[in-house]
Amino acid sequence: MARDIAAPGRTKEILEHHGFSFKKSLGQNFLIDRNILEKIVLTSKAGAEDGVIEIGPGIGGLTEHFAKAAKQVEAFEIDGRLLPVLEETMAPCKNVRIWNEDILNVDIRRVLSENFKNVQDIIVTGNLPYYVTTPIIMNLLEQRLPISRMVFMMQKEVAERLAAEPGSKDYGSLSIAAQYFADPVKTMVVPKTVFIPKPNVDSAVVRFEIRDTPPVEVEDEAFFFRVIKAAFAQRRKTIWNNLQHNLTGRDRREELAAALQEAGIDSGRRGETLTMQEFARLSTFLKRHLH
C-alpha cells in the first residue's frame, strides 16, 4: 500500500524527485502529520456527497485525504512549479481537479455552479499562508457563496483574533467581521514541528460554520463596517476619540454624542469592549444623525 503523501519520508522523496525549492514569498510550509490531516477532514464534516474547494494544495497531502472523504475536490494552486508534482501525486485520485490560479482572482461562484452540480454541502479548506489569510477569508465570506463551512489552517495568532470575544486582547474589527458572516471556532493548535520547512510560529485550525443570516440587523452594512473600523483605529483611544477622528470629524460632535447616548454607549469606553449588537445599534443611530 502506498504511503501517505504527507509521511515525512515520502514528502522529502517527492520534493527531491522534482527538485522543488520552497518560496518564502508564497509562505509555503507543508504539513507532514497524517493524524492532523485526518482531524482536519473530520472537523470539516466532509461526506461522500460533498464538494470541496481547497486553497493551496502544495504537493497534495491534505488533498489526498479529502479525495477519499468527498465526492469532488477542486484545488487551486498559485505556484505553477507544483503542477507536475500534483499531476503525479494526484494521479490515483480521479475526483480531484487542479487549477493553477490565485484564489483571489477566481470567480468562485462560477466554479461552484459549473463543477458542483450534484453535491450536497460545499466545504472550503486549505493551509493558508500568513500574508493572505485575512484577504482570502474575508473575500469568501463577503461574497455570500452557497457554502456550508470553511476549515482553514493558519497562524495561531490570526486564529485567536477570528474567534475572539469582546473585551479580550485579540478582539478587533476582524473578529466582528468574521463573526458577522460565520461562527468561527478554533478547533486545534498545530505545533510548528509538523511542517517542512518549520515555520517560526505555531498554527491553528479554525472551522467557520457559515450563517444563513447575520446575528445582528443593520440598515447599512457598509456603514456598519466603517464604524467598526473607525472604532478600532487606535486601540488605546476611547470610542469617542476614535469615531471623532476617523469617522465624523470634529464638527459633528453633537451628532456623535446624541448617537452614543441613544445607543446607550458610554463615550469613555474603548472599541474592544463593545459587542457586535452594540456596534449595530450605534451604526444605526450614527447614520440617522449624520445623514
Sort residue 45 into left (φ over 0), alpha (ψ -120 to 50) or beta: left
**Residue of 186, 185, 164 lying closest to 174 (CA atoms):** 164
Cα angle, residue 179 at apex, residues 177 and 181 outer, rounded to 5°: 75
Lookup result for grid cell 468561527: 184
| 100 in a labelled binding site | no
| 95 in a labelled binding site | no
Cis? peptide before 197, omega within 30° of 0 = yes
For 227-245, letters b (16+ CB in 10 Å) and e give bbbbbbeeeebbbbbbbbe
Q: What is the torsional sign of CA 218, 219, 221, 224?
A: negative
| 183 in a labelled binding site | no
Rounded to whole angstroms, the Cα distance separating 186 from 175 reads: 12
| 102 in a labelled binding site | yes
Rounded to whole angstroms, the Cα distance separating 55 from 120 reads: 20
Taking a C-beta distance cutoff of 8 angstroms, is the pair 135, 104 a contact?
A: yes
Taking a C-beta distance cutoff of 8 angstroms, is the pair 276, 215 a contact?
A: yes
**Residue of 107, 100, 18, 94 lying closest to 63 (CA atoms):** 94
H or E, element range at 136: helix 133-142
| 202 in a labelled binding site | no
**Residue of 117, 121, 180, 114 lying closest to 150 (CA atoms):** 121
| 251 in a labelled binding site | no
Binding residues for S-adenosyl-L-methionine: 29, 31, 56, 77, 102, 127
Binding residues: 29, 31, 56, 77, 102, 127
